[in-house]
Structure 1
Amino acid sequence: MPGLQTLLRRVAIDLTPLRRPHYRRLWAGQGLSFIGFQLTTVAVNLQVFDITGSSLWVGMLGLANLVPLIVFGLWGGAVADVMDRRRLLVTGAVITWIATLVVLLQAWVRLGNVYVILAAIAVQSMGFAITSATRGAIIPRIVPIEKVPAANTLNFLVSSLGSVLGPLLAGVVLARGGYTLAYLIDAVLFSASFYAAVRLPHLPPLGEASRRAGLGLVAEGLRYIATSPVVLMSFVVDLIAMVFAMPRALYPELTEVRFGDSPHAYAWLSAAIAIGAVAGGLFTGWVGRVRRQGLALTFTIAVWGLTVAAAGLVSELWLVVTLLAVGGVADLISATWRQSILQLHAPDEMRGRLQGVFMVVVAGGPRLGDLRAGASASLVGLTPAWVSGGLICAVLVVVTGLAVRSFREYVPETLRRSSPSASPDRPDAS
């Protein structure tokens, strides 16, 4: 059936970036290590809830993550613009690995101290901030510029796959081996990411090698964002999505209240959003061809908020998981567009700083969402906190996204070039 084959080629995910050995290793290492990272995330949330019996303390894990993410995400992005990005990626990986070993040790000796866990997670967040900002700035250096959206989709897809396998693995590991085994598996899997970083070529800065990283470079990056409405709005809509609609901190309480405190139910809840992202990601060949990406991004995030709100109203596990999975499809698509906007909207010497801010927003937003959800549930109860967040997200993102003309009319430069009537509004960033 030639027609069906043509359709599948147009919508199937683009795998051509995997032909590049450096990218392929980085992608595979990220995928394996992210399984362990998600395994630890699920285990830590449950361990803190076991120790304290409070969703607010689970939400405090978000705060422990947030401060290092902001500080070291911005700093790491600035450093990535003035030093060898391979060296910085290896340094961040070592920091992350050490923090994982501390989490493993506290579980092994049965310390049961929530403050030690929070401190270790804060250090782990520091390493994560550095590596994430640096990895995002590396991608346009190791794949052709026209393949950056496809590479971003593959990155988000493998991360989503880890977000499925990690929580599902956690359901088995926590039921049979406990927290120590979960953290041990994370430490072992992280070696793949470290190996990929070591095997990268040297990636010295192209434009600002003589400058030192510091507040000046960070301020330059923030000024660039502030004067670029499209870039700024890509951050704003993501913050709306994560701060108001992310329900992750409520999973332990929902499991206890509705599903009999079942580890397997908790695992399925933790994996649900990523399940949708993986399923939807296999058919994202069309994403890079959407022209009005700002407008599409706005309504995609509104879909995310509405599906999250609906999930908070149902009591059957399969239906909660299904609705969250639909939200996961929307989340993957929106993440691909937002990342591509940043990587293709700025010159290479600015990419590290923009990726640092992107990482702060992408990783910090859900942590703020954890804190909001946990605090709201403590004040108004589980269901009102969950549902109201999703509804507020949907309404606020539509109002905000449609209010900025340059954002709602944004078309990527790679697509504008194909239109003879279009004229670029910025220099070529390739």
Structure 2
Amino acid sequence: MLRRLLSRIAVDVTPARESRDLRLLLGGELITGLGTQAALVALPYQLYVETKSAFLTGLLGAVELVPLMAMALLGGALADRHDRRRLLLFDQVGLVLGASALAALAYAGSPPIAALYVLGAWMAGFGAIQNVTAGSIVPNLVAPELLRPALALNYGLMTLTAVIGPALGGLLIAALSLGAAYTVDALSCLAIVAAVWTMAPQPPRGVDLEATEPTRMLASIAEGLRFVRGNHALMGSFAIDLLAMTFGMPRALFAVLSVSVYHTGAGGTGLLYASVAAGATVAALTTGWLGHARRLGLIVIWAVVAWGVAIALAGLASSLWIAAALLALAGAADSVSAVCRSSINQAVTPDHLRGRMSSVFSLVVTSGPRLGDVESGTVAAATSPRFSVVSGGLACVVGVVAIVLAFPALAKFDAERDMAHAEPAPA
């Protein structure tokens, strides 16, 4: 009976067994993600150590937002008109250059704050292209019936990097230096280069690449935005995630809480980052039960409510370990929401629009936490870090009601009825 239960809840690894290219992509993203997450800890930690300001640390999110938005939209249009595999390879050049520059400044000591903001924006922009392009490739590597477990497996491995990566970043900073964390980020990009290099070409289906006119790029972006705007289930899934991340993601305060509240330094900062991802990883790797679920929209709604409650309680925690445990519960709820939202988004989108839909998805997923950086940092500067975390979690819960009223199609989404547009290629 226990074996039957485990087989029902454990994530299905069949997609990875049956698709060589999926294995390559997941392996490359796993290693590269470790370096990315290590740098994710290093940059805000470096800013707070240099400035001693929660506001200036949170401002990093605002600085990163514009290039992230622009490059995500551009990346989506490019992914729908060029070989997605080649686009991933070119994108790694920008990521290596940015991480190398951060490492050089860190080794030099006391870098200009403006330079850190510029390089943070650079990394956010090229990271957005990578996320959009990789996300649009996954559905074409598996058979239609394996789409949902493939997305769950992909998300589970991504969150695993977010568990190990921040801890690795904290250890590298504490044992070696900030420069070491950035160096690991630069070197890790070679993993996805090696993996993608051996994959088969990944052109978008249903598009004549030779007939594509580069001058129509803006029209292509507009077409993708019209598609997203016209699908209320998509809009609802994007809106509820943006709400949760803007008000309920206090990651900009992790360094502040660790240094000034819990007095645990870089190690505590890494633990807080890793806690969210640890809970998300456990949940993502036990999402086998979602393969049998139909009302994915309702699951998303209740998962976001659970996220907000856990974040609010974490703000009241009296110790680092209690806060970390509550953040892990929040991460588990977010993981369930993310898998369901990814399944909804990819399944209702035709392949020739997947890059542009993925650009909006990436825009929401990556810009939401950055808006959260600004919100949490501003509120913390005006009040206190604890009040910022608690009020953000409660605002998330209240906001869910508004999202449900504005986008009723999300709550009504039925997997068997509404996934009629899925067009993944056979494995």
Q: TM-score range by the shorter chain?
A: over 0.9
Instruction: Indicate the SS of the match to 2:414.
Output: coil
Describe how 1:329-340 pairs up with structure 2 within 5 A: 329-340=332-343
What are structure 2's unaligned runs of at least 5 residues?
none
Q: Which amino acid aligns with 1:429?
A: E
- Which residue in 2 is equivalent to 1:186? 185
- Which residue in 2 is equivalent to 1:140? 139
Instruction: Indicate the SS of the match to 1:286.
Output: helix
Which whole-Å deviations, capped at 9, do the CAs of 1:134-161 have from their partners, x for residues lacking one? 1111111111122122121112211211
- Which residue in 1 is equivalent to 2:219? 216
Describe how 1:221-240 pairs up with structure 2 within 5 A: 221-240=224-243
Describe how 1:5-404 pairs up with structure 2 within 5 A: 5-19=3-17, 20-208=19-207, 209=209, 210-211=211-212, 212=214, 214-404=217-407
Instruction: Indicate the SS of the match to 2:12.
Output: coil
Pair 1:26–1:425, CA change in 2 (3 A): closer
Deviation at 1:427, TM superposition (A): 4.4
The separation in 1 between residues aligned to 2:23 and 2:173, in whole angstroms, is 31
Q: Percent identity?
A: 36
- RMSD over aligned CA atoms reads 1.5
Q: Which amino acid aligns with 2:62?
A: L
Q: Which amino acid aligns with 2:41?
A: V
Equivalent position to 2:2, from 1, 4, 12: 4
Whether the 8 Å CA contact 1:295–1:402 is kept in 2: the answer is no
The separation in 2 between residues aligned to 1:15 and 1:427, in whole angstroms, is 24
The separation in 2 between residues aligned to 1:346 and 1:51, in whole angstroms, is 45
Whether the 8 Å CA contact 1:27–1:155 is kept in 2: the answer is yes
Whether the 8 Å CA contact 1:292–1:410 is kept in 2: the answer is yes
Which whole-Å deviations, capped at 9, do the CAs of 1:131-187 have from their partners, x for residues lacking one? 111111111111112212212111221121111111212222111101111111222
Deviation at 1:282, TM superposition (A): 2.5
Whether the 8 Å CA contact 1:23–1:139 is kept in 2: the answer is yes
Which whole-Å deviations, capped at 9, do the CAs of 1:54-77 have from their partners, x for residues lacking one? 111111221222111100101110
The separation in 2 between residues aligned to 1:333 and 1:427, in whole angstroms, is 23
Which whole-Å deviations, capped at 9, do the CAs of 1:243-301 have from their partners, x for residues lacking one? 00001001111112222242222211111100101222231101122111111111100
Whether the 8 Å CA contact 2:25–2:196 is kept in 1: the answer is yes
Equivalent position to 1:429, from 387, 412, 423: 423
Deviation at 1:225, TM superposition (A): 1.2
Moved more, 366-375 or 397-406: 397-406
Instruction: Indicate the SS of the match to 2:45.
Output: helix
Deviation at 1:313, TM superposition (A): 0.4
The separation in 2 between residues aligned to 1:281 and 1:206, in whole angstroms, is 29
The separation in 2 between residues aligned to 1:427 and 1:130, in whole angstroms, is 25
Pair 1:367–1:428, CA change in 2 (3 A): closer
The separation in 2 between residues aligned to 1:159 and 1:425, in whole angstroms, is 24
Q: How many residue pairs end up in the alignment?
A: 419
Instruction: Indicate the SS of the match to 1:168.
Output: helix
Moved more, 146-155 or 219-228: 146-155
The separation in 1 between residues aligned to 2:311 and 2:108, in whole angstroms, is 38
Deviation at 1:428, TM superposition (A): 5.1
Q: Compute the TM-score of the two structures, normalised by the length of structure 1.
A: 0.94
The separation in 2 between residues aligned to 1:372 and 1:247, in whole angstroms, is 8
Instruction: Indicate the SS of the match to 1:214.
Output: helix
Deviation at 1:197, TM superposition (A): 2.0
Instruction: Indicate the SS of the match to 1:202.
Output: coil
Q: Which amino acid aligns with 1:5?
A: R
Deviation at 1:395, TM superposition (A): 1.5
The separation in 1 between residues aligned to 2:231 and 2:347, in whole angstroms, is 13
Q: Which amino acid aligns with 2:124?
A: S
Whether the 8 Å CA contact 2:255–2:265 is kept in 1: the answer is no
Whether the 8 Å CA contact 1:307–1:326 is kept in 2: the answer is yes
Moved more, 289-298 or 199-208: 199-208
The separation in 2 between residues aligned to 1:31 and 1:425, in whole angstroms, is 29
What are structure 1's unaligned runs of at least 5 residues?
417-423
Q: Compute the TM-score of the two structures, normalised by the length of structure 2.
A: 0.95
Whether the 8 Å CA contact 1:304–1:328 is kept in 2: the answer is yes
Q: Which amino acid aligns with 1:242?
A: M
The separation in 1 between residues aligned to 2:254 and 2:277, in whole angstroms, is 14
Instruction: Indicate the SS of the match to 2:288.
Output: coil
